[in-house]
Amino acid sequence: MRVVILSDPAAVAQFAADELVVRLRRRPAQVLGLATGGTPVELYQRIIQAHRRGDVSLSQVTTFNLDEYVGLAPEHPASYRSFMNAQLFDHVDVPRPNTHVPLGAASDLAAEACRYEGAIAQAGGIDWQLLGIGRDGHIAFNEPGSSLRSRTRVKTLTAQTRQDNARFFASLDDVPRSALTMGIGTILDARSILLMATGESKAAAIAACVEGPITASVPASALQWHAATTIVVDRAAAAQLHHAAYYLEAEAERQRLVPSP
């Protein structure tokens, strides 16, 4: 795992934006796995700015989002489809049919999960997967106890996740109780992964993800199995990492050996 510790959330967003822009400039036709939540918003803003400057095009990109709330139609203002349209897709040149979000309002959720996995495979698999992390160590909506080999399916949200996401809804009661989510196995199939985390509320989850045992109790710890994962965090989210000094040193050494493009 590459662990990058930066000063603040703005630096984390810039790091992620630089990585994505460099990747897209090298190879404009890519399959991107995208995430929702508060953490990637600033990254998406920077991608929009880069697009407006003419630095990057998403015209050949295909995207797959990690998850969607069960029961919310795409048009629902709190759906992850609405979130992605408003935060990114409405402002860049990705053709809308190339953007995929699981249909949480599907009448047959098992069939929809199967269809989603098939669509990812049909697109050739995910080249670059963006992730956030929940305070409970979830990635996508793989809550503690999720099989480390799980595929796209319905998961029940924990009380903590519903509480954390209540800010996007009128009230806690309005937060759906389950979601259709890529599995941990689906995520681990991505060719490369970038997990972003900021703020002290994520510090315990980041320490467990990076330095704890691999366990279904901390779904993000499964990333230790992945050969090309970068964890980019601000100082607050890195606060409980025992080997922080080593990660900083390793990153400085990496910059010396492989200067950023």
Mark whether 143 is an active-site residue.
yes
Mark whether 136 is an active-site residue.
yes
64 in Cβ contact with 120 (< 8 Å): yes
Mark whether 242 is an active-site residue.
no
104 is a contact residue toward ligand PGA (CB under 6 A): no
Q: Residue 133 or residue 241: which is nearer to ligand PGA going by CB?
A: 133
CA distance 136 to 120: 27
The per-residue DSSP string of 168-232 comes to GSSSGGGS-SEEEE--HHHHHTSSEEEEEE-SGGGHHHHHHHHHS--BTTBGGGGGGG-TTEEEE
202 in Cβ contact with 137 (< 8 Å): no
**Which residues touch 215 (CB under 8 Å, ≥6 apart)?**
221
Q: Which residue is at the shortest CB distance from ligand PGA?
A: 37
* Of 33, 104, 134, 137, the one binding ligand PGA by CB under 6 A: 134
Q: Residue 163 or residue 255: which is nearer to ligand PGA going by CB?
A: 163
- Selecting among 42, 112, 117, 136, the annotated active-site residue is 136
- Selecting among 19, 42, 67, 112, the annotated active-site residue is 67
The Cα-based distances of 252 to 14, 225, 256, 258 in angstroms read: 18, 24, 6, 10
- Selecting among 143, 164, 189, 234, the annotated active-site residue is 143
Q: Residue 113 or residue 220: which is nearer to ligand PGA going by CB?
A: 220
Least distance in Å: CB of 133 to ligand PGA? 5
185 is a contact residue toward ligand PGA (CB under 6 A): no
Mark whether 67 is an active-site residue.
yes
Least distance in Å: CB of 137 to ligand PGA? 10
CA distance 175 to 169: 6
219 is a contact residue toward ligand PGA (CB under 6 A): no
CA distance 76 to 37: 16
List the interface residues with ligand PGA, window 19-78 (CB under 6 A). Answer: 37-39
139 in Cβ contact with 101 (< 8 Å): no
5 is a contact residue toward ligand PGA (CB under 6 A): no
Residues near ligand PGA, by CB under 6 A = 37-39, 132-134
